[in-house]
Amino acid sequence: MIAANLDPGFRDHLLRIVDVSERQLDKLLIELMDQWSETQEEHVLRRHRELQREGVPNRLVYGLILRELPGRRFAPEPTTERRIRRLIYG
C-alpha cells in the first residue's frame, strides 16, 4: 500500500482504466498525495522558494502564487464529528 489513507479500491479502479504499470501508478499516486497533503501555507512558502531560486522577483511572485491558488487542492483543516454534523444538518 502506498499510503495508509488511500482507498485500495480507488487504486484498483485506476489500474483498470489507465494503461500504466502498477509501479508507474504508485509513483504517480505518491506524487499526487504529496502535493495534496500540503496546506495552503506550505504551498505558498514552497512556491516562493522555488520561484526565488528561478530568479523571479518578489513583486511578480506574489501575483503568480495568487493566480495558482484557485487551481490547487489543499489538505483539509482538522475537524470534529460535531463540525461534520453541523455541515450536514446546519
- Provide the pLDDT confidence category of residue 1 given band limits of 50, 70 and 90: very low
| Every domain of the chain and the residues it spans | 1-37, 40-71
pLDDT in tens, 4-48: 567 889 989 999 999 999 999 999 999 888 888 888 888 999 999
pLDDT in tens, 58-87: 999 999 999 999 888 887 778 888 888 887
**Which pLDDT score is estimated for 24?**
94
Nearest to 65 by CA among 75, 54, 76, 78: 54
How many Cβ atoms from other residues are within 10 Å of residue 80's Cβ?
8
Residue 88 has pLDDT above 90, yes or no: no
Cα dist from 52 to 44, 62, 66, 72, 79, whole Å = 12, 11, 15, 20, 34
Report yes or no: 27 and 3 within 8 Å, Cβ to Cβ.
no
